[in-house]
Amino acid sequence: MSSLVVKGLSKSFGGVKAVTNVGFEVRKGELLALIGPNGAGKSTCFNMLNGQLKADGGSIKLFGEEIIGLEPRQVWRKGVGRTFQIAATFTSMTVIENVQMALISHHKRLLSMLPFAGSLYKEEAYELLELVSMQDQAERPCGMLAYGDVKRLELAIALANDPQILLMDEPAAGMAPNERIALMQLTADIVKEKDISVLFTEHDMDVVFSHADRVMVLNRGELIALGLPSEIRENEEVQSIYLGTGAVYDEELVGNA
Does the protein bind ligand ADP through residue 39 (CB under 6 A)?
yes
Residues 207-236 that bind ligand ADP (CB under 6 A): none
Pick one of 22, 26, 31, 44: the residue that binds ligand ADP (CB under 6 A): 44
Distance CA 146, CA 250 (A): 30
Closest CA to 24 of 6, 10, 42: 6
Segment contacting ligand ADP (CB under 6 A): 42-50, 120-128, 133-141, 178-186? 42-50
Taking the complex as a whole, how short is the minimal distance between the CB of residue 196 and Mg ion, in angstroms? 23
Angle at the Cα of 125 from the Cα atoms of 207 and 202, rounded to 5 degrees: 15
Question: Contact between 13 and ligand ADP (CB under 6 A)?
Answer: yes
Q: How far is the CB of 43 from ligand ADP (least distance, A)?
A: 3
Task: Enumerate the β-bridge partners of residue 34.
Answer: 201, 216
- Please work out the total of residues on this chain that contact ligand ADP, with binding judged by CB under 6 A: 11
Q: How far is the CB of 228 from ligand ADP (least distance, A)?
A: 22
Of the candidates 44, 49, 43, which has an alpha carbon nearest to the alpha carbon of residue 24? 49
**Cα–Cα distances in angstroms (integers) from residue 233 to residues 116, 161, 167, 251, in the given order:** 50, 34, 23, 15
Q: Which of 41, 51, 81, 171 binds ligand ADP (CB under 6 A)?
A: 41
Site string for Mg ion, 39-58 (x = CB under 5 A): ---xx---------------
Q: Minimum distance between the CB of residue 114 and ligand ADP, rounded to whole angstroms?
A: 36
In the bound state with ligand ADP, the residue whose beta carbon lies nearer, of 51 and 129, is 51
Q: How far is the CB of 39 from ligand ADP (least distance, A)?
A: 4
Sequential DSSP letters for 234-245: H-HHHHHHHTTT
State which residue, 15 or 115, has the beta carbon closest to ligand ADP. Answer: 15
Round to whole Å and give the CA distance between 21 and 102: 35
Q: Rounded to whole angstroms, how far apart are CA atoms 135 and 126?
A: 6
Check residue 16 for interaction with ligand ADP (CB under 6 A): yes
SS3 (DSSP) at 147 = helix
Residue 140 sits at φ, ψ, to 5 deg, of -85, 145
Nearer CB in complex with Mg ion: 24/200: 200
The Cα–Cα gap between 219 and 42 comes to 9
Residue 13 interacting entry, from ligand ADP, Mg ion, none, C-beta within 5 to 8 Å by type: ligand ADP
157 belongs to the binding site for ligand ADP (CB under 6 A): no
How far CA 152 is from CA of 84, 106, 251, 257, in Å, comes to 11, 19, 27, 32
Please identify, among the stretches 37-45, 77-85, 136-144, 156-164, the one whose residues bind ligand ADP according to the rule CB under 6 A.
37-45
Contacting residues toward ligand ADP, per CB under 6 A: 13, 16, 18, 36, 38-44
